[in-house]
Amino acid sequence: MENHRKDENNLRNMFIGLENSTHLAACSQSPMLKNVWKSLEKYRKDILEYGNPWELWSEKVDQIRSLIAHLIGANRDEIAITFSVSSAFSGLVSGLGKSGKKNIVTSDLEYPTTNYIAIAQEKNGWRHKTIKHRNGIISGDQYGDAIDNKTELATVVHVSSLNGFRQDLKSIGEICHGKGAEMYVDCYQSLGTIPLDVKKTGIDYMAGGMLKWLLGSSGIAFLYVRKDLAEDMDPSSTGWLSQTDPFKFGAEELNFAEGARRFESGTLSIPSAYASIEGIKTVMETGTEFIKDRIEELSSFALDLASDMGFKSPTPVDRDMRGGIVAIDLDHPFEMENILRKDYRIFTSARGSSLRIAPHFYNTKEDIIRFFEKLKTIQTGR
């Protein structure tokens, strides 16, 4: 991206509404890109002009597939486009089990969908083990202790949505593979903000979505499956788009598509595809290295300011151990989120016992100062 495009004002002008609001909730929903708004208008026009342009919509889905593959260093046929990370992980788990192993290791820093889906597999004969964090952190040794010779899969959240803790994927992957287990990564809270190469990192499976940091829309997510693993999997959670002949009526047998596409299901949210293409393109044009440096600078500033103003944070201070989320411990975080939104147009996101801010490349230090000043004002008023 050209240096002039990285001017602070130019970055902010790419979005709608930042001139009259402070948007610090990228961990839940990014502000709307002007290009995303235009893409939704293009969807409307395509409907009016073509009626039911299935070929055009298929091209949009394949464009997302290509963009994601490029962003994570994968091949196109290793990417399945899904509705959500929940549908991606459910489909993946339904294809496991050929090894005869029946254990899944997860943690209590995962987004809840991972744990719920793992628990649901008990009726299919699976067992799950949950690693408990220690002061908001999980060590590689904990994975080493939890994985045994019956473990098929270990799940690893790259950046926890609870406190922003970031895990070392490469070292955990080495632990998993050394013990004969495979690694699944949830990258929803990291992709687009941290350079990530699935081949160099040794990731077997990974899922993420276009909402949040990738600036797109809900309704579109993806599942990466290493091709050599995919070709040996027969998922039971399936649909017509998972087959080599998706339009075959009266089918009497399954004939899975090649690679990760066998984990696709049914018709996707096409408006979300239009929107998400523009989001991921903007992230790639801006550059994940630039975004990473920008977020590190802003999150460090936020943690320092929080400490100076007497707020406590469960987010790791070490830059190598955190993503873009900065969590602030409060007595009534959801109430604070609502007050900040309604009274000051400051958008944040509460989770658990913390109020989270998630500065992205369009944010400024002034945004963070305003957040903490208003938070202190509210607390003083109470």
Q: What does the domain layout of the chain look like in residue ranges? A: 3-32+288-381, 38-283
To the nearest 10 degrees (0 to 180), the angle between helices 270-286 and 54-72 is: 30
Cα separations (Å) of 14 from 4, 9, 36, 74, 150? 13, 9, 10, 28, 50
Q: 66-102, pLDDT tens digit by residue?
A: 999 999 999 999 999 999 999 999 999 999 988 899 9
Closest listed residue to residue 121, CA positions, set 107, 103, 139: 103
- The pLDDT, as a whole number, for residue 382 is 65
- The pLDDT, as a whole number, for residue 261 is 96
Q: 306-318, pLDDT tens digit by residue?
A: 999 999 999 999 9
Q: Which strands make up the sheet holding 205-209, listed edge to edge?
A: 79-82, 221-225, 205-209, 182-186, 151-157, 103-107, 127-131
Secondary structure class of 357 (helix, strand, coil) = strand
Q: Give residue for tokens 């899922």.
A: 207
3 — pLDDT class (breaks 50, 70, 90):
very low
Let me know if the fold of 3-32+288-381 is the same as that of 38-283.
no
Which fold, 3-32+288-381? Aspartate Aminotransferase, domain 1 (3.90.1150)
Query: 38-283: what CATH class?
Result: alpha beta
Cα separations (Å) of 162 from 78, 322, 329, 379? 29, 11, 11, 22
Mean pLDDT calculated for residue range 356-374: 98
- The pLDDT, as a whole number, for residue 6 is 72
Question: Exposure of 162 by Cβ count < 10 A (0-12 exposed, 13-18 middle, 19+ buried)?
Answer: buried
Quick check: 4 pLDDT over 60? no
Ranges of H-type helices in 287-332: 288-308
Q: CB of 337 within 8 A of CB of 303?
A: no
Q: 289-300, pLDDT tens digit by residue?
A: 999 999 999 999
Alpha carbon distance 118, 78 (integer Å): 23
Phi/psi of residue 338, nearest 5 degrees:
-65, -40
- The pLDDT, as a whole number, for residue 7 is 83
Closest listed residue to residue 279, CA positions, set 351, 214, 218: 214
Q: 147-179, pLDDT tens digit by residue?
A: 999 999 999 999 999 999 999 999 999 999 999
Mean pLDDT calculated for residue range 359-379: 97
Q: 271-283, pLDDT tens digit by residue?
A: 999 999 999 999 9
- The pLDDT, as a whole number, for residue 198 is 98
Q: 299-354, pLDDT tens digit by residue?
A: 999 999 999 999 999 999 999 999 999 999 999 999 999 999 999 999 999 999 99
